């Protein structure tokens, strides 16, 4: 969530595009519901792009090779512990055009949340993260509500620092600090809460 808001604050045109999508599909007479998320493809694009750039865990959980095999010309003996560096896959210029740039539009037209084995923020296959569905619903709904209800801006003209801190879960080096105010379109609804 912190990475998504940081990216949005550094790209205010993306917030406006997402607000427009929400205004058209949901309106301003009610808050977004979980069932609305499937009708908000641009919001899903924002989530995909955020998870591509800043996956919750840059390395997938370790696996063990079940038999001897050759991968990319390398001999992998049976029982070898294997780690998949999804951060490197998500930033590979052979797979992604301009891989370090925040560009939610790269996921427009994608059915669902994945793009084959190029995008796998929760792993893949039968051992993928069991919390994927919950995480996408909770973060999608929360981010959607924050976009729907508030106008966001940086506290200064400086861009939000996107430096990653060391750790297993890729925290931001500097915590996000931002300003928000209720959107004019949503004030009547927010006053009723």
- Would the pLDDT of 89 be above 70? yes
- Do the domain assignments include residue 80? no
- The more confident residue out of 18 and 60 is 18
> In this structure, is residue 13 part of a structural domain?
yes
In a domain, 61, yes or no: no
pLDDT at residue 112, rounded to an integer:
52
Q: What is the pLDDT of residues 103-158, one digit of tens each?
A: 999 999 876 555 566 888 888 877 788 888 899 999 999 999 999 999 999 999 99
pLDDT at 116: 63
**Is 69 a known ligand-binding residue?**
no
Q: Which is nearest to 113 in space by CA: 95, 101, 128, 99?
A: 128
CA–CA separation, 138 vs 180, rounded Å? 21
| Distance (Å) of CA 49 to CA 96, 113, 129 | 11, 10, 18
pLDDT value at residue 182: 94
CA distance 141 to 62: 30
The verdict on residue 65 lying in a domain is: no
Q: Is residue 149 part of a domain?
A: yes
Overall number of domains in the chain: 1
Q: What is the DSSP letter of 182?
A: E
CATH number of domain containing 38: 1.10.630.10
| pLDDT tens, position by position, 143-169 | 999 999 999 999 999 999 999 998 888
On whether residue 72 sits in a domain, the answer given is no
Q: Which domain holds residue 103?
A: 2-56+86-191
Give the whole-angstrom CA distance, residue 10 versus residue 113: 23
What digits encode the pLDDT tens for the residues 10-33?
999 999 999 999 999 999 899 999
Asked if 32 and 124 count as a contact pair (C-beta separation under 8 A), the reply is no
Does the residue 103 lie in any domain? Answer: yes
**In-domain check, residue 75:** no
The predicted pLDDT at position 111 comes to 64
Quick check: 179 and 154 in contact, CB under 8 A? yes
């Amino acid at each position: 969530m912190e990475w998504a808001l940081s990216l949005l604050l550094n790209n205010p045109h993306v917030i406006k595009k997402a607000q427009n999508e929400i205004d058209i599909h949901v309106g301003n007479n009610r808050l977004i519901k979980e069932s609305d998320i499937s009708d908000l493809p641009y919001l899903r694009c924002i989530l995909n792009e955020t998870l591509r750039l800043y996956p919750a865990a840059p390395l997938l959980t370790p696996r063990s090779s079940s038999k001897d095999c050759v991968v990319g010309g390398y001999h992998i003996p049976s029982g070898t512990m294997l780690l998949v560096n999804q951060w490197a896959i998500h930033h590979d210029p052979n797979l992604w055009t301009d891989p370090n740039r925040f560009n939610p539009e790269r996921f427009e037209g994608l059915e669902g949340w994945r793009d084959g084995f190029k995008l796998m923020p929760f792993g893949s296959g039968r051992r993928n993260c069991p919390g994927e569905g919950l995480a996408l619903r909770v973060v999608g709904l929360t981010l959607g509500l924050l976009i729907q209800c508030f106008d966001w801006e940086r506290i200064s003209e400086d861009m939000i620092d996107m430096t990653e801190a060391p750790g297993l879960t890729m925290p931001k080096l500097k915590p996000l600090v931002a300003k928000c105010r209720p959107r004019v379109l949503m004030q009547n609804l927010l006053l009723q809460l």
